[in-house]
Structure 1
Amino acid sequence: MEGMDVERIIFLIAAGAIPVLFAITLHEVAHGWIANKLGDSTAKMLGRLTMNPLKHIDPIGTVVLPIGMLVFSLATTGTPFAFGWAKPIPVNTRNLKQPRRDMAIVAVGGPLANFLMAIFWAVMFTVFAAVIPDEAIASGFLTMAQIGLVFNLILMVLNLVPIPPLDGGRVLSGFVPRNIADVLDRVEPYGFLIVIALLYFGVLDKVIGPIIGALYSLIAGIFL
């Protein structure tokens, strides 16, 4: 790897640290906040309804995987790509009035938070471009906003894929007949392996890529 590639990786990690940490953190806090509103205060009692990223960091999903994917994508395609996750927010379904329906509502909270953050970073991109006169300084902040926009869209769309334990799987489980929900429950232990396999063979990218691109174009057309 050439020196310039290393410099680019360091630059992207530095610029992306804040938006990535808060994308993952707020995703989980949104789950916990909605669960608390629906009657389950487990996350609140465990101190997980906080904006402090240290309470949510998963060493693999928050640090190792995103950095590894960034390095790998730059080395193979030259285009940065990464996603990750935080420690899941605990939800005790016995505290929910209608467990299946309420868990589906809790699941929607994370992707919705990411959508709102994507809009926030799009707005911040415009603000940074307008108020920072120095091009060198502006470059770092604009890259930060760009990463925040794209990473949140990736996290939102990926999590809405209807494969448990992704949020989309939990949403689907909340509205399908009980026998189908039982099948989804049995699939859940293997869900991440299925997602990784679909990513590896390029199947998932062909499905979610156009959706992410369309959302990016929509937000960019309005805010950028």
Structure 2
Amino acid sequence: MTSATARSDRRISPVFLGIAAVTAVSGWAVWTDFAGQPGFATFLFVTAAWVVSLCLHEYAHARTALHSGDISIGAKGYLTLNPLKYTHALLSVVLPVLFVIMGGIGLPGGAVFIERGRIRGRWRHSLISAAGPLTNVLFALVCTAPFWLDGLDGVPVPFRHALGFLALLQVTAAILNSVPVPGLDGYGVIEPWLSHPVRRAVEPIAPFGLIAVFGLLWVPEVNAAFFDAVDALLRSLGVSDFDTYCGLDAYRFWQGANPVCAVNG
């Protein structure tokens, strides 16, 4: 019975498989221009792929915690990649998707609940927190691989734009979640190395860290500096500002296609 339960704890959820299927089908629709209107297909593809990356982000936290000593992870359902099993499904999935729709920002979501008392060693605690952003980095490298490997020959322009925008979301998520602000993974990396009084003092403001970061991004000067850095990083990976801009334009299909992107597409 124990081994059977352990296997079920690790079985990939049909919910995640369904999301992955939507990603694949909508990606095919963007690639083939199946409906002649790539905007809606781009919206489905990027949104579904973004949710897949959120699931992988949380899975990375959970899997690292499991191997670090928290054997309760499996029973919570985190290893099934089911977003409905997260302790903060609203923060982990719903709000990040809304942020993408509203501002084209890959804002990170809430983390899975880990029983830190089961884990020994500061390095292990830091690695658990770092595992999520590192997953976004890996996802960004996969999205941008056709660009920095000069493999764009034969890739349809709408699909290239969609990949560019998806890469932007992964880069913004990786950067923002690495900021050492309470409530984000960046703080989780350094928290084990802080003194107990400092951690106690910071604990009450942890739930507001994500909101504070999002609020700062609405400051024009902060927003401009942040996206200048993101664009520069993407350009170093071969993704042009035009690709990400037109990807965002196609994603927001309800606003109508931008003539510049339509002509160049």
TM-score normalised over the length of structure 1: 0.74
The yes-or-no answer on 1:49 pairing with 2:79 is: yes
For residues 51 and 228 of structure 2, what CA distance do their matches in structure 1 show?
25
For residues 83 and 23 of structure 1, what CA distance do their matches in structure 2 show?
11
Q: C-alpha offsets along residues 47-70 of structure 1, whole Å, 9 cap, x if unaligned?
A: 212345565593565346534653
Following superposition, which runs of at least 4 residues in structure 1 exceed 6 angstroms of deviation? none
**Cross-structure match for 1:4:** none
**Cross-structure match for 1:83:** 106
- When residues 88 and 146 of structure 1 are mapped into structure 2, their CA distance, relative to the original with a 3 A threshold, is same
**Cross-structure match for 1:172:** 190
Contact 2:179 2:186 in 1 (8 A): yes
Using the aligned pairs only, state the percent identity. 20
Contact 2:108 2:177 in 1 (8 A): no
In the alignment of these two chains, the number of paired residues is: 202
For residues 51 and 193 of structure 2, what CA distance do their matches in structure 1 show?
31
- SS of 1:129's equivalent in the other structure is coil
- SS of 1:145's equivalent in the other structure is helix
Shift of 1:182: 2.4
Residue pairs, 1:131-170, within 5 angstroms: 131-132=154-155, 138-170=156-188
Q: C-alpha offsets along residues 177-199 of structure 1, whole Å, 9 cap, x if unaligned?
A: 33322222232132233223212
More moved, 44-53 vs 142-151 = 44-53
- SS of 1:181's equivalent in the other structure is helix
Gaps of 5+ in 1: 1-6, 74-80, 133-137
More moved, 52-61 vs 166-175 = 52-61
Shift of 1:200: 2.6
Q: Structure 2: which amino acid aligns with 1:143?
A: H
Determine which of 119, 136, 161 is the counterpart of 1:114.
Answer: 136
The yes-or-no answer on 1:96 pairing with 2:119 is: yes
- When residues 140 and 60 of structure 1 are mapped into structure 2, their CA distance, relative to the original with a 3 A threshold, is farther
Q: C-alpha offsets along residues 27-61 of structure 1, whole Å, 9 cap, x if unaligned?
A: 11111111111111232222212345565593565
The yes-or-no answer on 1:58 pairing with 2:89 is: yes
Shift of 1:123: 1.4
Q: CA RMSD in A?
A: 3.1
For residues 91 and 19 of structure 1, what CA distance do their matches in structure 2 show?
25
For residues 150 and 82 of structure 2, what CA distance do their matches in structure 1 show?
25
For residues 207 and 36 of structure 1, what CA distance do their matches in structure 2 show?
38
Contact 2:51 2:93 in 1 (8 A): yes
- When residues 63 and 177 of structure 1 are mapped into structure 2, their CA distance, relative to the original with a 3 A threshold, is closer
Contact 1:165 1:191 in 2 (8 A): yes
For residues 48 and 107 of structure 1, what CA distance do their matches in structure 2 show?
15
The structure number with the bigger radius of gyration is 2
TM-score normalised over the length of structure 2: 0.64
**Cross-structure match for 1:34:** 64
Contact 1:19 1:144 in 2 (8 A): no
Contact 2:177 2:185 in 1 (8 A): yes
- When residues 184 and 207 of structure 1 are mapped into structure 2, their CA distance, relative to the original with a 3 A threshold, is farther
Contact 2:172 2:230 in 1 (8 A): yes
Determine which of 199, 215, 218 is the counterpart of 2:233.
Answer: 215
Q: Structure 2: which amino acid aligns with 1:171?
A: V
For residues 107 and 193 of structure 1, what CA distance do their matches in structure 2 show?
19
The yes-or-no answer on 1:22 pairing with 2:40 is: no
Gaps of 5+ in 2: 1-36, 244-265
**Cross-structure match for 1:130:** 153
